[in-house]
Structure 1
Amino acid sequence: MANKAEKSPSSLSEAPLAAFTQLQEAGLGNMVGMSNAWLETMGDMGAEVASFIAERIKEDVKTQHAILQCKNMTDLQTIQTEFVQKALDQYQAETGKLVEMGTKTFAANLKDQDGKS
């Protein structure tokens, strides 16, 4: 068998730290200090998206039920138009919520970094 160069446990544990240091030197700032707030926000955003998807599925089922009850094409067009308009409004509102959540996290992180400087 060929001799394999073994890495010491200390060099293995230093590799992730070295990667963060390189990213910070590249201008990405204090990513380590941001991790807790970022992970918390990502969890909140995930819950928000899951809730939004559940609401949209309810709207889909409601619309399908209404379509099945249609008696003429005019009613069908009205139902479809209302569905699309409501979906657009809800997606726009949800995007705004998610952007606001992310912005608050970045703003809080910047404030923390300014306070530590």
Structure 2
Amino acid sequence: MTRATQKSAQAPSGKTTAQMQQPTEAGVLTEPWAHLVQALGDMSSEMAKFIAKRIDEDMKVQQDLMHCRSIADIRHVQLSFFEEAFKQYQGGVVRMFDIGTHALQERPSD
């Protein structure tokens, strides 16, 4: 989108795209973008927590595998790892979905 097109693009609220992207005097984004920025921040924070937790789990599995004495021990460690990973990924997707849904429900009316 060119600069001229961006300035003339009208949103449903009657404001141009450029006007809606302008920060207010206090430095806070104007609605309807503030709640989306908050949701993106929440998602970013949630992702960082999830990745840190997964890295901890990966390190733990490496240590557990080094202590295995048989193939059965290895299978047990791997099975536990994948079951826990599946639960964590499933929970992570649900949390992201909840954050996104909440952000859409908090959308200001035009």
Instruction: Indicate the TM-score class for this superposition, using the shorter chain for normalisation.
Output: 0.7 to 0.9
Q: Report runs of 4+ in structure 1 exceeding 3 Å deviation.
A: none
Q: Which residue of 2 aligns with 1:58?
A: 56
1:40 to 16, 32, 38: 38
Larger radius of gyration: 1
Q: Which residue of 2 aligns with 1:70?
A: 68
Per-residue deviation, residues 69-96 of structure 1 (Å, max 9, x unmatched): 1000000000000100100000001100
CA distance in 2, matches of 1:61, 1:93: 20
Q: Which has the higher helix share?
A: 1
> Are 2:96 and 1:98 equivalent residues in the alignment?
yes
Q: Which residue of 1 aligns with 2:8?
A: 18
> Are 2:85 and 1:87 equivalent residues in the alignment?
yes
1:44 positional shift: 1.0
CA distance in 2, matches of 1:37, 1:15: 26
Between 1 and 2, higher relative CO (CA 8 Å, sep ≥ 6) is seen in 1
Q: Which residue of 2 aligns with 1:29?
A: none
Query: What is the DSSP-based 3-state SS (H/G/I as helix, E as strand, rest coil) of the residue aligned with 2:34?
Result: helix
What amino acid sits opposite 2:43 in the alignment?
A: M
Note the residue ranges of structure 2 that are not aligned, 5 or more in a row.
14-19, 21-30
Per-residue deviation, residues 2-51 of structure 1 (Å, max 9, x unmatched): xxxxxxxxxx5x643423x1x649xxxxxx43211101110111011011
Q: Which residue of 2 aligns with 1:4?
A: none
Identity %: 27
Number of equivalent positions: 92
RMSD of aligned alpha carbons: 1.9
Q: TM-score, normalised by structure 1?
A: 0.71
Q: TM-score, normalised by structure 2?
A: 0.76
Note the residue ranges of structure 1 that are not aligned, 5 or more in a row.
1-11, 26-31
